[in-house]
Structure 1
Amino acid sequence: MQVFVRDNNVDQALRALKKKMQREGIFREMKARKAYEKPSERKTREKAEAVRRARKLTRKQAIRDGLIAAPKRPARDVRGPGRGARASAPSAPSAR
């Protein structure tokens, strides 16, 4: 896994690396390998994960087919997440 550091911005590169690791499931695997998992527990967990995936797939297919309504999305702020007072103020043209 590789992340490039641009303009000596290590914090941004670290965030990108963590996001990649999260997507790949590395954190979940590290947590699982921290302690021994008995084979019977592993089978039980894998079966539960398979059931969860199957239910999710069935639910998505039913939503696509129009059999059930899609879940309501929460109302979002117009400015978007993480926007402070600066985002709502009109910006003045810069003299660059």
Structure 2
Amino acid sequence: MSVELKPGESQEALLKRFRKEVIKDRILSTYRKKRWFISKSESRRLAKQRAARKARRKMLARARRNR
């Protein structure tokens, strides 16, 4: 990935544009995911835990609203 300096553009603006491109292309998130190997069974287990946590939070939010 490369970002060219436009005429009259400051270094700060160039850096900001570069960061936006990195975020848009999901480069850092992909790197973080691939940093350690996670087996399929482990990823399924983690996904199940995340879903349970999310359901629990949703249930608590509903209970608070219905008070």
- With the length of structure 1 as denominator, give the TM-score of the two structures: 0.42
Match of 1:84 in 2: none
The 5 Å alignment of 1:18-57 reads 21=23, 26=26, 27-57=28-58
Q: Unpaired runs of 5+ in structure 1?
A: 1-6, 68-96
SS at 1:35 equivalent: coil
Q: By how many angstroms is 1:14 displaced?
A: 4.3
Match of 1:60 in 2: 61
Judged with a 3 Å threshold, the aligned counterparts in structure 2 of structure 1 residues 52 and 63 are, in CA distance, closer, same or farther, namely: same
Structure ranking higher on relative contact order (CA contacts 8 Å, 6+ apart): 2
- 1:10 equivalent to 2:17? Answer no
Partner Cα separation in structure 2 for residue 51 and residue 29 of structure 1 = 24
- The runs of 5 or more residues in structure 2 that have no matched partner are 1-7
Question: Higher helix share goes to which structure?
Answer: 2
Instruction: Indicate how the Cα distance of structure 1 residues 14 and 62 shifts in structure 2: closer, same or farther if over 3 A, else same.
Output: farther
Share of identical aligned residues, percent? 18
